[in-house]
Copies of this chain bind each other. A is one copy, B any other.
Amino acid sequence: MSLLLSLALLGLAGHSVGQGIPDRGFPDCQDGPLKNNTVCDTTADPLERARALISLFTVEEKLNNTGSVSPGVPRLGVPPYQWWQEALHGVASSPGVNFSTNGDFSYATSFPQPILMGAAFDDELIREVASIVSTEARAFNNDGRAGLDFWTPNINPFRDPRWGRGQETPGEDPFHISSYVHALIDGLQGGYDPKYKKIVATCKHFAGYDMESWNGNYRYQWDAHISQQDLKDYYTPGFQSCARDSNVGAIMCTYNALNGVPTCADPWLLGDLLRDHWGWTNEQQWVTSDCDSLQNIYLPHEFASTRPEAAAKALLAGTDLDCGTYYQHHLPKAYAQGLFNESVLDQALIRQYSSLIRLGYFDGDAVPYRSLGWSDVNTGNAQQLAYKAAVEGITLLKNDGLLPLQVSSNMSIAVIGGWGNATEQMQGNYYGVAPYLHSPYYAAQQLGATVYLHTVPGGQGDPTTNSWLTVWGDVEKSDLIIYADGIDNSVELEGMDRNSVAWTGAQLDMIGELASYGKPMVVLQMGGGQIDSAPIANNENISALIWGGYPGQDGGVALLDIITGKAAPAGRLPLTQYPAEYIAQVPMTDMSIRPDESTGSPGRTYQWYTGTPTYEFGHGLHYTNFSASFSSGSSPSSYGSSSGSSSHSIQDLVGNCHEHYQDKCLFRTFDVDIQNTGSIASDYSALAFLTGTHGPKPYPNKRLVAYRRLHDLTAGSTSTAHLNLTLGSLSRADNKGNSVLYPGDYALLIDTQPLAMLNFTLTGQEAIIDLWPQPPEPTYQTSDYFVGGYGSTYGEDVLINGTV
């Protein structure tokens, strides 16, 4: 979405259907025109209630209510409704969210960006955060300051480090995303099938959206070419988790096309896969377009020969709501031309209003969430959780023993770099107004030390040394140098991908000269996408390197608490830190995950990358040491086949599985005892990777199949991580996208530098446990500029070269 521009346009947008800005009032089921309609009968089935309501709408009223700014139906007492709210990591500024300029409702809790919360590898934390967000969202709604549906989360896997919006995601791993989002939706929606949904979440962007603007390829016209194998293995597990396993209320289709078809007009994607295969068929579940991805079906995708045809194709494919006005403008003509019939329109509206019914929109004070108010926003608990989420995610990449470092009030600290006094920077994108924003500089001052601040160089864009001369004297006087810099939303941004994953020359020059003083020095690498910190890792004069992501409202305090040991680091990189040259080895347009000798691609993510990362996925140091062992209950002899060996018959596993979706059947719970063998209390995230030789070559390096964060292991203590592996986690996708259990050898590894390993085998014949629906043969290719990347040609485009 183009959030900033859309905000600017909102004043006009309300007028678009002659209704002014939605007043966010609720329908009056006590005295309004609908009071005797079934929609106001709280005992009736939500679907019946919605049908009863929509049956009262004229065709024109139905057509009017297909956009994100819906006028409602005044004659029926159905108020206007703004569907577009954002809440990526807290209630966020967006067309439907209205922060007060001061006093009550002038701010909301601002948690870290998902990329840093992903680093916590702590689903319970995510559930708690999401619960706070939905509580605050409901409070805003009750004050008429927000709607009830929110267009979050962004769960496209962080495929390429250049992606400007990767910061919005939990990281690069599909299992991690699936597990994370399952907890998140529980917290946002108030359970997986509550009577009243707390809010409606929207999993986006379905599917294959993970590029903004790269070398002439723009998200609005990009056609992502993705194999069914990669689609199943990598690009869609998070959406399966949302739709099939978490009962999410909404899904957003994308700007890009997928294998030739704009996703919002793709009956296979929105029908065969999403609704039919994943069973996402509750009446309350709807698909919204991205803003305004319906327009770009016509241009630049040129997927329809007329504008009404583009709108009709989207509606028929199953896009129920248009973020924008393309439906409202063009569906009437399409309807007049007979391009769709009224029942399709009814279905879209029934889905929308069923969703509002499940949110209690028509039910007045019967909805328990109606009592939430300003006192439920920014509570002490919420503040503490925002701090905790930052601490849990912050990741220690390098430590020569300097950390933890006791800071006394007679010390002097030089805080240098573009992030030194970060405020809004700490929120990344899609943020709201925070109650406070505590920078590293602020936090250093709280320690009672003398702190010298120099915010140079000013990020990645600025090489000017105008203020550098003032730095050196203060560095001379300091006992500790904290260099806080990296990237931020000036270089990784919606609409803008990066073209470098290196620190700049000016940054490295500053870092190098600071290091030459030989003083204790800590570098804070900030921002979502990684930058290659090899020059820092290799510099012996730099004691420690910490990745801080976008740590949110209390991020500076969290960072300093980790430096001083008030908190112990246990975050893990949720993405690969590639060497800087990686981005020259694979164009961003190459969607393949696997390495490819023919193109020279070294592969993507820790699962397939054939090079040596600077820091690998899952890397994260602690202030203590841990050992791990599979507990007796997990020993090879006590589980597996009926013979008691570590060998398992595939046919037995499948035969004993009675789930409709066989990949959900439990294979085994592995209990892993984790002992803190050092002297400092610390969390520990047990990451379990599967590797081995099974199925066709090439094999992935390894793949995450389970994780669990253990909290506050005191020195010497042991805690047990219960790790569930399903049949799905053993399976791999074949080239048709089917999930297959393959006979062969398997090894389960605990941690990136394994602390424990357990081997087992599967025997018998390979078996499909999930039959992937096959798309129709491509009959159409959208017009693209640089399909294929660096060496490719500029496609023919009749409209660009012809006439409009």
Binding site for B on A (CB under 8 A): 1-2, 5-6, 8-10, 12-13, 15-17, 68-69, 95, 213-218, 220-221, 255, 291-296, 298-301, 307, 323-326, 328-329, 456, 458, 461-470, 472, 495, 499-500, 502, 504-506, 508-509, 511-513, 515, 532, 534-536, 538-540, 579-581, 583-585, 785-786, 790-794, 797, 799-804
Is B13 a contact of A307 with CB atoms below 8 Å?
no
Name which of A8, A509, A534 has the most chain B CB atoms within 10 A of its CB.
A509
Is B299 a contact of A508 with CB atoms below 8 Å?
yes
The 3 A-B residue pairs with the shortest CB-CB distance, nearest first, are: A300-B505, A512-B804, A584-B794
Could you name 15 residue pairs across A and B whose Cβ atoms are closer than 8 Å? A10-B466, A16-B467, A213-B499, A220-B504, A291-B463, A292-B464, A298-B505, A299-B509, A325-B466, A500-B785, A508-B804, A534-B803, A535-B799, A579-B801, A581-B800
Q: Which residues of B contact A534 (CB under 8 A)?
A: 800-803
Q: Which residues of B contact A462 (CB under 8 A)?
A: 2, 5-6
**CB closest residue in chain B, given A798:** B535
A299-B509, A325-B468 given; 20 more Cβ-contact pairs under 8 Å = A2-B461, A6-B464, A12-B467, A17-B469, A69-B466, A216-B500, A220-B463, A220-B504, A291-B464, A292-B466, A295-B464, A298-B505, A299-B512, A328-B469, A329-B468, A508-B800, A535-B802, A538-B802, A580-B797, A584-B793
- If the complex has contacts A500-B218, A580-B800, are A12 and B466 also in contact, measured as CB distance less than 8 A? yes
Complex Cα gap A307–B509 (Å): 9
Is A535 a contact of B325 with CB atoms below 8 Å?
no
A511 is contacted by which of B467, B499, B804 (Cβ under 8 Å)?
B804
Name which of A512, A538, A790, A803 has the most chain B CB atoms within 10 A of its CB.
A803
**CB closest residue in chain B, given A466:** B13
Is A215 a contact of B532 with CB atoms below 8 Å?
no
Q: Which residues of B contact A786 (CB under 8 A)?
A: 584
Is A801 a contact of B580 with CB atoms below 8 Å?
yes
**CB closest residue in chain B, given A297:** B505
- If the complex has contacts A509-B295, A509-B307, are A804 and B468 also in contact, measured as CB distance less than 8 A? no
**CB closest residue in chain B, given A324:** B465
Name which of A15, A214, A468 has the most chain B CB atoms within 10 A of its CB.
A468
Is B458 a contact of A5 with CB atoms below 8 Å?
yes
Is A296 a contact of B463 with CB atoms below 8 Å?
yes
Q: Which residues of B contact A69 (CB under 8 A)?
A: 466
Q: Which residues of B contact A6 (CB under 8 A)?
A: 462, 464, 466
A324 is contacted by which of B461, B466, B585 (Cβ under 8 Å)?
B466
Is B465 a contact of A292 with CB atoms below 8 Å?
yes
A466 is contacted by which of B9, B296, B532 (Cβ under 8 Å)?
B9
Is A800 a contact of B502 with CB atoms below 8 Å?
yes
Q: Which residues of B contact A535 (CB under 8 A)?
A: 799-804
Complex Cα gap A222–B345 (Å): 55
Q: Which residues of B contact A793 (CB under 8 A)?
A: 584
Is A324 a contact of B291 with CB atoms below 8 Å?
no
Complex Cα gap A10–B580 (Å): 33
Complex Cα gap A68–B217 (Å): 40
- If the complex has contacts A509-B804, A534-B800, are A5 and B504 also in contact, measured as CB distance less than 8 A? no
Shortest distance from the beta carbon of A791 to any chain B beta carbon, whole Å: 5
**CB closest residue in chain B, given A511:** B804
Is B461 a contact of A495 with CB atoms below 8 Å?
yes
Q: Which residues of B contact A472 (CB under 8 A)?
A: 329
Name which of A12, A255, A512, A532 has the most chain B CB atoms within 10 A of its CB.
A12
Complex Cα gap A580–B794 (Å): 9
Complex Cα gap A513–B307 (Å): 9
Shortest distance from the beta carbon of A614 to any chain B beta carbon, whole Å: 9
Is B584 a contact of A464 with CB atoms below 8 Å?
no
**CB closest residue in chain B, given A508:** B804
Q: Which residues of B contact A512 (CB under 8 A)?
A: 299, 804
Is B465 a contact of A585 with CB atoms below 8 Å?
no
Shortest distance from the beta carbon of A73 to any chain B beta carbon, whole Å: 17
Is B583 a contact of A216 with CB atoms below 8 Å?
yes
**CB closest residue in chain B, given A328:** B469
Q: Which residues of B contact A469 (CB under 8 A)?
A: 16-17, 325, 328-329
Is A794 a contact of B329 with CB atoms below 8 Å?
no
Is B467 a contact of A301 with CB atoms below 8 Å?
no
Q: Which residues of B contact A68 (CB under 8 A)?
A: 466
Is A215 a contact of B218 with CB atoms below 8 Å?
no
Shortest distance from the beta carbon of A720 to any chain B beta carbon, whole Å: 42
Complex Cα gap A374–B38 (Å): 75
Complex Cα gap A298–B507 (Å): 12
Is A506 a contact of B296 with CB atoms below 8 Å?
yes
Q: Which residues of B contact A508 (CB under 8 A)?
A: 299-300, 799-800, 804
Is A465 a contact of B499 with CB atoms below 8 Å?
no
Complex Cα gap A265–B13 (Å): 55
Q: Which residues of B contact A584 (CB under 8 A)?
A: 216, 785-786, 792-794
Complex Cα gap A470–B325 (Å): 10
Q: Which residues of B contact A292 (CB under 8 A)?
A: 463-466, 506
Complex Cα gap A791–B255 (Å): 28
A803 is contacted by which of B9, B468, B539 (Cβ under 8 Å)?
B539
Complex Cα gap A791–B68 (Å): 43
Shortest distance from the beta carbon of A694 to any chain B beta carbon, whole Å: 35
Complex Cα gap A95–B385 (Å): 44
Complex Cα gap A340–B323 (Å): 65
A505 is contacted by which of B221, B328, B499 (Cβ under 8 Å)?
B221
Shortest distance from the beta carbon of A384 to any chain B beta carbon, whole Å: 35
Complex Cα gap A463–B581 (Å): 33
Is B791 a contact of A5 with CB atoms below 8 Å?
no
Is A791 a contact of B794 with CB atoms below 8 Å?
no
Complex Cα gap A461–B8 (Å): 14
Complex Cα gap A513–B299 (Å): 12
Shortest distance from the beta carbon of A440 to any chain B beta carbon, whole Å: 19
**CB closest residue in chain B, given A323:** B464
Complex Cα gap A233–B504 (Å): 34
Complex Cα gap A472–B292 (Å): 18
Shortest distance from the beta carbon of A64 to any chain B beta carbon, whole Å: 10
Shortest distance from the beta carbon of A188 to any chain B beta carbon, whole Å: 25
Q: Which residues of B contact A790 (CB under 8 A)?
A: 790-791
**CB closest residue in chain B, given A3:** B464
Complex Cα gap A322–B317 (Å): 62
Q: Which residues of B contact A468 (CB under 8 A)?
A: 16, 324-326, 329
**CB closest residue in chain B, given A513:** B307
Q: Which residues of B contact A217 (CB under 8 A)?
A: 499
Q: Which residues of B contact A804 (CB under 8 A)?
A: 508-509, 511-512, 515, 535-536, 539
Complex Cα gap A237–B9 (Å): 47
**CB closest residue in chain B, given A580:** B800
Complex Cα gap A351–B653 (Å): 86
**CB closest residue in chain B, given A534:** B801
Q: Which residues of B contact A539 (CB under 8 A)?
A: 803-804
Complex Cα gap A355–B100 (Å): 56
Name which of A292, A462, A804 has the most chain B CB atoms within 10 A of its CB.
A804
Complex Cα gap A785–B501 (Å): 11
Shortest distance from the beta carbon of A397 to any chain B beta carbon, whole Å: 15
Complex Cα gap A111–B6 (Å): 32
**CB closest residue in chain B, given A460:** B218
